[in-house]
Structure 1
Amino acid sequence: MQGLPGGDARRIHDLALEIITEKQPVRVWPLLMARLTADLPCDLAVLIDLDWNAGTGHALTGSPDWLHEAPLDALIHAHMRSHPLLRHYAHTRDKTPLTMDEVADDRWWKGEAYRAGKEAIGIDRQLALPLSAGPGRIRGIIMSRSGLGFSDRDLEYAALARSLLDTVEANETAVLAYRGPADPAEYKITPRELAVLTLLCEGLTARAIATRLAITPATVTKHTENIYRKLVVHDRVSALRKAHSLGLVPAPRPNPDAEPPSPVR
């Protein structure tokens, strides 16, 4: 951290401390995304997971919260293979954070993919933090800002932030202990929605969930509505029963102190 200005070194230190000491694994990715957008700073950050060979992929989570309503998956499906940063990581398996300015030529800035992204979510300059992924897959964080490109200082910060991502991945693995065996992606449930669903299963109110995940109650309500729609249910009780039956969250543990039910007569 000696090469970074004192403020940046402190930000990286504080972020690492927050990740390591966070008691709720479901908060780790939202915490990281929010901090990256604030510390660089940038306008938005998106965690993506792509199957390069199949030409498909998903935006798993992002910051700010309005990105959850943006057509990110449609942009990915339409333009991922023409995206210079994604092409670079697909072909080289490089793990170095890079900017769009380092890998793109005039064809990108004049092309349909750039125009589509700028029109849909305002992306302009981009910086990628790649994560480890299996053969044929790309996983990482794409950060964007309007106007100004990323500086050498930004790249130094990104390189150090990238060093924390293995810790974040370990925390994400911890989330598996709180859910069932089903794959949430099969039901198009994002990590943020799974976090909300997990806390709904604990009986928390929207306000309590908002506090736990550092988001607003209105955002919790929107995520809850998305969960209901994806599970094809209309209320919390039905959502929890469906989530349990599908294996998205663990079945409720029996309470050893509860009285046995009365026999049916």
Structure 2
Amino acid sequence: MTGGPAGAYERMLAVAVAALHEREPERLWPMVAAALPGLCGGEALIYKLGEWTDRSGAMGLSPGAAAHLGGIGGVDGIGGDAMAVLRRGYPFADHYAVAGATRRPGTARRMAGRGWARSRTAGTISRLMDADHVLAIPLPGTATPVTGCLVYRAGGDFTEDQVRAAEQLQPLLAGVEQQRQLLERWRAEMAPREAREEVSAESRLTPRQVTVLLLLADALTASAIAHRLGISVRTVHKHVEGLYRKLGTRDRVSTVLRAQEIGLLPRRVGR
């Protein structure tokens, strides 16, 4: 990390706070991608979420990666063979696919040894990204081998301190992805435009209150919600109290029913 541990911690905290206040799920990962390379000694970053094979799967870019790829038209300008090489994720896919392998971040050079410099992947990223080394930061708890971030840099390999910094960032990345999924779910379940306008005028929920509301609707306890979101039980209770105040309710059942009535949650039959 550049700027010393204190400066890096402040930047990491700023990203976390910004993510918790972001209402648009599609903005979360671009926000993280812009800050993450500098926090672990990189210059550019590609992230991928969900299933990613050598033939399919969406990729997102940091500003640094976009600048390198801009001359060829961004991701859309990458040839099919080169894109397949990037998506294949050598040597990370094989490393993380091994039964019992940890999700600890690692560098291509350390995983592949001397074979890394001679690999097609190394040649491809040198040509496309002007980079020599890659650091993988997989999302903890995922099954697909390369789900997460690939950070690129020129010159020497990432240091052990930079790999440890990436490891410290993994819970933040997991939280951002969980927040994105919950916001996507909320958006998909929202009622028509008229109901959204009523919700906006009446409740004005924060993104964190929305996520707590979704989990209340799933009948999770305060302790379970706290564990799921990585916050304290006391913080959960504060969010719940905020929901009661904004929705004019006094308990969980009436809160969920009121949220369904005004379109914050779908009406579910048989639940």
TM-score (norm 1): 0.57
Number of matched residues?
A: 178
2: CA distance, partners of 1:79 / 1:30: 19
* 2:124 is the counterpart of 1:122: no
Q: Distance in 1 between matches of 2:32 and 2:56?
A: 21
Can you give the 5+ residue segments of structure 1 that lack an aligned partner in the other structure?
Answer: 181-265
Matched, 1:87 2:94: yes
1:166-205 aligned at under 5 Å gives the runs: 166-173=174-181, 174-179=183-188
Q: Report 1:104-143 matches (<5 A).
A: 104-132=112-140, 135=143, 138-143=146-151
Q: Which has the higher strand share?
A: 1
Distance 2:168 2:43 in 1: 20
Match of 1:227 in 2: none
| Equivalent residues of 1:57, 1:76 under 8 A apart | no
Structure 1 residue 152 displacement after superposition? 2.5
Letter in 2 for 1:178: R
TM-score after normalising by structure 2? 0.56
Contact 2:16 2:172 in 1 (8 A): yes
- What is the root-mean-square deviation in Å for CA atoms of aligned residues? 3.1
Within a 5 Å distance, the mapping from 1:1-265 to structure 2 comes to 5-49=5-49, 51=51, 55-64=54-63, 65-66=66-67, 67=69, 69-70=74-75, 71=78, 74-78=81-85, 80-81=87-88, 83-92=90-99, 93-132=101-140, 135=143, 138-173=146-181, 174-179=183-188
Indicate the SS of the match to 2:151.
strand
Compute the displacement of 1:49 (Å).
4.5
CA distance in 1, matches of 2:83, 2:188: 27
Structure 1 residues 123 and 11 mapped into 2: Cα distance closer, same or farther (>3 Å)? same
Letter in 2 for 1:9: Y
Which 5+ residue runs of structure 2 have no aligned equivalent? 190-271
SS in 1 for 2:146: strand
Shift in alpha-carbon separation, 1:44–1:137, aligned structure 2, 3 A: same
* 2:85–2:124 contact (8 Å) kept in structure 1: no
Check 1:29–1:72 CA distance in 2 against 1; reply closer, same or farther (3 A cut).
farther
C-alpha contact (below 8 Å) 2:45/2:61 kept by paired residues? yes
Residues 210-246 of structure 1 deviation map (CA, whole Å, 9 limit, x = unaligned): xxxxxxxxxxxxxxxxxxxxxxxxxxxxxxxxxxxxx
